[in-house]
A and B are shown apart, each in its own frame.
Chain A
Amino acid sequence: MVEAARTAVRTASGGAGILRFLGRRLVQGVIVILIVTLIVFALLHLAMPQGPAQGILGMQATQEQIDAFNRANGFDRPLWQQYFTFLSQIAVGDLGDSFKLNRPVADAIGQRLPKTLVLALISMAVALVVAIPMGIYQAVRRGKTGDYVFTTMNFIIYSTPSFFLGLVLVIVFAQWLGLVPALAPQGDTVAQVLAKPAGLVLPVATAALGIIATISRYMRSATIDNLSEDYVRTARAKGTPMPVVIRRHVVRNSLTPVIAMLGYYLPVMFGGMIVVESLFNYPGMGLLFWTSAQTGDYPVLLGCVLVIAVATVVGSILADLVQALLNPRTRGELA
């Protein structure tokens, strides 16, 4: 076993591994996105076996009008041809037209996406600032009261639907204490939204709490794993005080798996945004998605899915890249 492990170490440590690895990840990402387009295309046809004609022309459209529309737009051709047309359209950023908003899907998403990203990034930043120290604290105080308190808290938050959590926050901080507004700021641009930061407090808190519960659990177990590593013993044996050992040695090595996990956490976070945005009426992509689902605006729904899938794939590749940069074994080969 030791022999095999050493062989693996030897082969992995030499050569242009990391560039090749990233190249392979890119190819994988393209394949994943292609599979997503297939799923989206299939869903489109499940939703609209007749094609989008009815949605665009309206309910009163006659069968002749629909047939004419289908002929003009190629919706009478075989499915595989339609798929390739669909692919070539999305390749140039054309996500089709919304049924209800009288504008291209790409436009609608383009207007909403930055606001969702702002909300997501602020929530993520707040969550990381809280969750990482919390996870480290829990790991260090493992099995003691402090650990139990936070573990139980996270366990409960993790088991609570985020809209219920948000509602409790609204009741306490908006209704009883009147500290912050219960609804998110409105506006078309990011600047307008950011102009009223008080309105962001509860949406950010709701989103962040869920993320904290997940990440601090992860950070806790990564830190516990690292605390039992031999290098910690070496550092202690040379007289490094435990707090310094944690700060200087353990934290950095524990962050690496957490960063890798963040890449895969993106879709979960977007999924959570739709709930937060509809709860607080925040004008982001989640709310757009929600209203489109109510009205059956399929091109918008599937456009959103595609955008998020691409963001997820790019995010996980970025996470791999950051991880490679943090690891001295692979960093040298990137430079």
Chain B
Amino acid sequence: MLRIRDLAVTFRTDDGPVEAVRGIDLDVRRGEVLALVGESGSGKSVTAMAVLSLLPATATRTGSIELDGRELTTLTEAQLNGVRGKEISMVFQEPMTALNPSMRIGDQIAEALLNHGVGTKQEAARRAVELLARVGIPEPERRAAGYAHEMSGGQRQRVVIAIALACEPKLIIADEPTTALDVTVQAEILDLIRELAHSSGTSFLLVTHNMGVVADIADRVAVMYRGEMVEHGTALQVLREPTADYTKRLLDAVPRLPEGGETVPPAGEPDGTGPGGVALPVPVLSLRESSVTYRKAGKSFTALDGVSVEIAAGEILGLVGESGSGKSTLGKVALGLAPTSGGELRLFGEKLGRGGLRGRAERRLRGRVGAIFQDPGSSLDPRTTVGEAIAEPLVVHRAVRPMSGRDRAARVRELLEAVELPASYASRFPHELSGGQRQRIGLARAIALEPELIIADEPTSALDVSVQAAVLKVLRELQERMDFACLFISHDLAVVHEFSHRVAVMHEGRIVELGATDDVLLRPQHPYSQRLLASVPVPDPVAQRERRIARLAARSAA
């Protein structure tokens, strides 16, 4: 139905032309879900945008794109507007910003209909309400009269899908439709897309980097790498028996949870813990009944609600949860970056804050804790070199550990080697590095003082899977060598499973389940943990199908 031949897209930039897509062929058949997979820079999103000519003005496109035999690349802007939304429509990645904030939801859906002369204003308004009901929005009449800010991310994505669906197009192109959503919401959106594909016969071209999503929903898969098509075939073929080297590497890099209760012991047992993960005395970090309340515009919001947790020396505690669960706040409390409104925080047995250590003594204690942050873009000062950034903790704590400038430079080289970067990188600036390299620098900075505890807040969630795998490998090796304890915060359950001795699940500011990794992640007890786990798609179509059926059965039973 959609037939792409020899599509190439080149962007004009200050540093010369950049070829984003280098001559690819792609077919989408009627009624199928085709997944276009790749990491960042693979050209998958550019391909999707090229179909409806929604590329920025700096892009040049060559090749042919046909819809049912009609060439789309030669159409005028007016003709294209007849195709957009009518025959092919799109769903985008970021539901929080995809809707006009100052226009009623119903009007935004009706606009799609009225653009293509479908019915009168009244009819379009009525149809908009029907569409909202169709995509599973409760109280559609009320919602149609409302605005985007009143809805959650998942609901907004449903509205965007309703807009795409309005004129019953032949094809819907969905560009990372679930990437910005939590896993439980992702599962619901994928259910909706699957149901729509089956009931309406609409084809989907689904752009994604998530192999689990592919396994869950795709009939066929096309894999892109650096602007080229490296492999395509059915989901079963590509995910189970990949032929291209790149696909194999990509699939290997995807962290996954073991199937059906099978257990793999995590790397080594922590020193400070006895059998069964019971913490021995003097934990490196201990929180007792800690709460954090934010005040904003006169309203208070409880981010952390009486949380108690301990981390033993050498232990890795994984902290999982969805957005707003309070997991990042907990990390900030441990780092002294968020003031608590109640409870007690101890580092290495010493009480901090009210009635405990403060000022210089507290700062000295903080030298024994390292921190790794999520955003590789803002974790390093753009104006200092890599060497300066890594040496900073050494300078801050020079009173405790005096060190000559030469020793410090040597230590920086040593640390760079520890994170597997050439020592020459010390003179570079952050903007010259890739995201993965920056996270390694962050890691080197965190271990500079040989800390006994590292707080890592989503250290790899902004990275591609292959880069993530490399960074995690470095982190794991360092942990084995230096034996620091770690609070590892992540929304990715499989990563946490690979990495942690114990796991805590957070939900609405509380820890709902805490225990040994396999117990929590393979045999969850709390209903929320169970729901969370069931929502994570695994990158194997057969296994994922079973999981989905089990999840849907559990949901209808509940």
Q: Taking the complex as a whole, does A directly touch B, i.e. does some CB pair lie under 8 Å apart?
A: yes
Interface string of B152-182 (1 = CB under 8 A from A): 0100000010011010000000000000100
Asked if B98 and A10 make an inter-chain contact with CB atoms under 8 angstroms apart, the answer reads no
Asked whether A237 and B101 contact (CB < 8 A) given A20-B297, A328-B147, the answer is no
> A45 to chain B: which residues have CB within 8 Å?
none
* List of A residues within 8 angstroms of B111 by Cβ: 235, 238, 240, 248
**Which of A11, A237, A256 touches B297 (beta carbons < 8 Å)?**
A11
Alpha-carbon distance A328/B140, docked complex (angstroms): 18
Contact A231 B301 (CB under 8 A): no
Chain B contacts of A2 at CB under 8 A?
180, 323
Task: Give chain A interface residues in 214-236, CB to chain B under 8 Å.
Answer: 229-231, 233-236
Interface check A64, CB cutoff 8 A: no
Interface size on B, residues (CB 8 A): 48
- Given A7-B301, A8-B296, A326-B102, are A238 and B84 also a contact pair (CB < 8 Å)? yes
Of the candidates A1, A233, A326, the one whose C-beta lies within 8 Å of that of B374 is: A1
Q: Is the CB of A12 within 8 A of B296?
A: yes
Instruction: State A239–B90 Cα separation when bound (angstroms).
Output: 10
Known: A10-B301, A12-B297. A237 touches B89 (CB 8 A): yes
A residues less than 8 Å from B92 (CB atoms): 230, 233-234, 237
CB pair B149–A9 under 8 Å, yes or no, is yes
Q: Which of B5-13, B31-39, B74-82, B397-405 lies at the interface with chain A?
A: B74-82
A10 with B84: CB separation less than 8 A:
no
Residues of chain B lying within 8 A (CB to CB) of residue A248: 103, 111
Fill in one digit per residue for B106-123: 1 if any A CB lies within 8 Å of its CB, else 0: 001001100110000000
A236–B98 alpha-carbon span in the complex (Å): 11
Q: Smallest distance from the beta carbon of B420 to chain A beta carbons, Å? A: 27
Q: Contact check: which of B94, B112, B297 meets A238 at CB < 8 Å?
A: B112
| Residues of chain B within 8 A of A236, CB atoms compared | 54, 84
Q: For the complex, is A253 an interface residue (Cβ under 8 Å from B)?
A: yes
Answer whether residue B85 sits at the interface, using C-beta atoms and an 8 A cutoff. Answer: yes
Let me know if A11 and B54 touch, CB within 8 A. Answer: no
> B328 and A3: CB pair below 8 A?
yes
Contact of B231 with A by CB under 8 A: no
Q: Mark B488-509, 1 if CB is under 8 A from A, else 0.
A: 0000000000000000000000
Contacts of A329 in B (CB 8 A): 101, 147, 149
| Total contacts A-B at CB 8 Å | 121
Cβ of A68 under 8 Å from chain B: no
- Please tell me which one of the listed residues A6, A14, A17, A239 contacts residue B324 in the complex, with CB atoms under 8 A apart: A6
Q: Which residue of A lies closest to B113 (CB)?
A: A238
B294 and A7 within 8 A (CB) = yes
Task: Report if A78 contacts B (CB, 8 A).
Answer: no
Q: Does B546 contact A (CB under 8 A)?
A: no
Q: Which residues of B contact A231 (CB under 8 A)?
A: 97-101
Residue in contact with B81 in the complex, picked from A8, A229, A240, CB distance below 8 Å? A240
Point out the residue from A20, A229, A240, A252 that lies within 8 Å of B115, measured CB to CB: A240
- Judge if B303 is at the interface, Cβ distance under 8 Å: yes
B83 within 8 Å of A by Cβ? yes
Given the known inter-chain contacts A7-B324, A236-B54, please indicate yes or no for A230 contacting B94, CB distance below 8 A: yes
Residue A327 interfacial (CB < 8 Å):
yes
Check: B414 CB closer than 8 A to any chain A CB.
no
Let me know if B298 is at the binding interface, CB within 8 A. Answer: yes
B180: which A residues are within 8 A, CB to CB? 2
Does the CB pair B77–A249 fall under 8 Å? no
Q: Is the CB of B103 within 8 A of A234?
A: no
Closest CB of chain B to A65's CB: distance in Å?
58
- Among A17, A230, A240, A256, point to the contact of B98 (Cβ < 8 A): A230
What is the CB-to-nearest-CB distance from B127 to chain A, in angstroms, rounded to a whole number? 14
Tell me, yes or no, whether A15 is within 8 Å of chain B by CB. yes
Contacts of A256 in B (CB 8 A): 102
Q: Cβ of A238 and Cβ of B85 under 8 Å apart?
A: yes
Task: For A249, list chain B residues within 8 Å (CB).
Answer: 100, 103
How many angstroms between the C-alpha atoms of A16 and B298 in the bound complex?
9
Q: A3-B323, A230-B92, A234-B98 are in contact. Are A239 and B301 (CB under 8 A)?
A: no
Q: Provide the residues of chain B in CB contact with A8, threshold 8 Å.
A: 296
Which among A14, A21, A230, A239 is the interface contact of B83 at CB below 8 angstroms?
Answer: A239
Q: Looking at the assembled complex, report how far the CB atom of B169 sits from the nearest CB atom of chain A, in whole angstroms.
A: 10
Determine whether B142 belongs to the interface, using a CB cutoff of 8 Å to chain A: no
| A189: B residues at CB distance < 8 A | none
| Complex Cα gap A256–B100 (Å) | 14
Contacts of A12 in B (CB 8 A): 296-297
**Nearest-Cβ distance from residue A261 to partner chain B, whole angstroms:** 18
Does the CB pair A239–B84 fall under 8 Å? yes
CA distance A233 to B103 in the complex (A): 15
A1 to B77, CA, bound (A): 38
- Cα–Cα, bound, A235→B166 (Å): 13
> Are B97's CB and A230's CB within 8 A?
yes
- Minimum C-beta distance from A19 to chain B (A): 10
CB <8 Å contact, A234 and B77: no
Contact with B along A294-329 (1 / 0, CB 8 A): 000000000000000000000000000000001111
Q: What separation, in Å, do the CA atoms of A273 and B83 have in the docked complex?
A: 53
| Complex partner residue of A3 from B82, B83, B297, B324, CB under 8 angstroms | B324
Kindly list 10 other residue pairs between chains A and B, CB separation below 8 angstroms, not including A21-B297, A249-B100, A256-B102.
Answer: A3-B328, A7-B324, A11-B297, A20-B297, A238-B85, A238-B115, A239-B84, A240-B81, A240-B115, A252-B102
Chain A positions within 8 Å of B, measured between CB atoms, are: 1-4, 6-17, 20-21, 229-231, 233-242, 248-249, 252-253, 256, 326-329
Can you identify 8 A-B contacts, CB atoms within 8 angstroms?
Answer: A20-B298, A231-B99, A231-B101, A233-B90, A237-B54, A249-B100, A253-B101, A328-B102
